[in-house]
Structure 1
Amino acid sequence: MTAPLKHTDLINVDVALGDRAYDIVIGRDVLATLGRRVAALRPGVRTAIVTDRTVAGHWLKKTEASLTEAGIATSHVIVEEGEGSKSYAVLEKVSEALIAARIERNDLVVALGGGVVGDLAGFAAAILRRGVDFVQVPTSLLAQVDSSVGGKTGINSPQGKNLIGAFHQPVLVVADTAVLDTLSPRQFRAGYAEVAKYGLLGDEAFFAWLETNHADIFSGNAAREHAIATSCRAKAAIVARDERENGERALLNLGHTFGHALEAATGFSDRLFHGEGVAVGMVLAAELSAQLGMIADGDAIRIKHHLADVGLPTALQDIAGFTQEGLADADALMALMAQDKKVKRGRLTFILLEAIGRAVIAPDVEPSLVRDFLKVKLERRR
């Protein structure tokens, strides 16, 4: 597999949801076209931008300028960076700001930021006046390949991640790959975990391509656009077939049952970024699959090696403060996993692997088996 792209190429990925279909526009410097795209989509619309403080410093003026040049009135609300903003208190702040800005049902909310801002702004739009449309302008790699696509919005509960939310599809996604140049290496790596996920769950050839070309993705070559577009096409296809996660969309949660529990155990802090938790979670899912005889040990090792090669954590002991806050306690992690959204009547559901490129939904996994598995992993490298 190669990446026959140039930075000048714009890529459109269609999310085929009937009368709620929308485009994902991917390309370098495409943010400048946001205003004319919104104007063409909704003539006479007003907008309100929701963003965080860090993203605002880089991209708010450019976003406002694009909208203003297209004759679109806009306002903005700025929240703090990080998972802490996915809370009841910040949701209230954003909702009240949107009401004060007189955003009506025929107007648009613009989510300018990473996954936190996209989830928060999208949920605020979903509940504002019983539903206002919104546009995703993702500014992190993780958001561009995953969280901005598919309509999952929400906030966190102290009891778990994304437990309060709604399905609310955007009407447009504008993914400017140039904005990724402002990310820290750690932030970019965290997003890369979600790129690798698409290869692992359904495209072995893509995973093999990533093993060969990941350096070009990190350096900003045209391979970056190819990786983002391939990931978006994979997610768009699954979302079109199963919008509300009644079946195969659950496959997109590969690594997330473990990962979300680890995020909760670390207090949704910068000790563990979401993508880092997913990376550890995918390795654990692969190793559990191998223990169950579903995949070869060599496949699990291959997955771990690739994620480690790009600098992602791959073991529980790689997490900062490993011995604190329940991270070294299998029972505490099991209790956090019991709040996973895929739990049905108290029984755990995991996404496991039959091969690299073939993930499966494994319902009703025996908790004692998972607990014993975690205890062994917790003892390793101590």
Structure 2
Amino acid sequence: MSTLRYGIIGSGMMGQEHIRNLALIDGAKVSAVADPNGDMRRQAAELAGPDCRMFDDHDALIKSGGFDALVIAAPNHLHRPILGDVLKVDVPLLVEKPLGIDGLQCREIMATANGRRAPVWVAMEYRYMPPIARLLKEVHAGATGTPRMIAIREHRFPFLSKVGDWNRFQDQTGGTMIEKCCHFFDLMRLVSGSEAVRVFASGGMDVNFRDETFGGRKADILDNAFVIVDFENGMRAMLDLCMFAEGAYWQETVSVTGDKARIDAYVPGPARFSPDGQERHAKLVISPRETKMPVSEDIKTDEAILSAGDHHGSTFYQHQKFAQLIREGGAPEVTMDDGTRAVEIGAAAEESVKTGMPVRL
């Protein structure tokens, strides 16, 4: 297999980010895009190159053939029906998070894929942000000792405008705790090596979209929340989310504290939201208890990779690993079970916000 040919289903903002990043992967090309929206479809095809074929329906793309892998980047609520068709095609598949809009959908998708030979990789990009990947490496190498606490802060810009404003509504996204935060619940599971047993959350829709309507409907998604997650092995984790804090220098801060040290990964937001429009370096700080002397390191990433998307290079590094899987075989690093469990934690957080009560898993 010389050149890997990708079909992209869903060519909006995230679909186009995948196309830009695949253009940076040696031996990869986007051979086809499918989207019912003509403008998005044409933009994506132009981005992919002159030989890219266009389809207004995912089924037409599937029947056309001519691809070695598929990427699903359609809106969340369309994942279940699209995957019902796509999983019948035995080619490697990368599906954007969340896998479904609730735990039941995710488990139905897993059942549909039962017996399938080709791998399905759930796109939890945040694992692959260079500063977070470095943090995970240090934690798993024992730098913190036994991890006991994880604290994640994301202070960022509001949800961006997307086709049909689908990301303004719980019934199309699963809710902010699923749409936005399944990444963070995935990281918590990865650090703890354990499963969540209890979730308690407080949140609201306090600033964004309160006086706006979309297609005659009022938005109903959270724009801020605190979430506490308790794990089977005794580790506890916290998420602090604010989606009206785009003035913050660091967009994400991930901190893991164990009995030997604390490690902090600091991730800046995309260049287009910085005052000067310039890319910024990330940072990693290791603070050992014994020496009490923190060691700080700038984590630098090629600007061509940073500028290919809004996720601090993670989409590129994820695609590198996915391409390696296609060529060499093996198992996906992020499984459908991983995607399902992250969604289930998010759904529990949404329920806890509504009821004011902890939710047991």
Q: Higher helix proportion, which one? A: 1
TM-score (norm 1): 0.35
TM-score (norm 2): 0.36
With a CA cutoff of 8 Å and minimum separation of 6, indicate the structure with the bigger relative contact order: 2
Q: Higher strand proportion, which one? A: 2
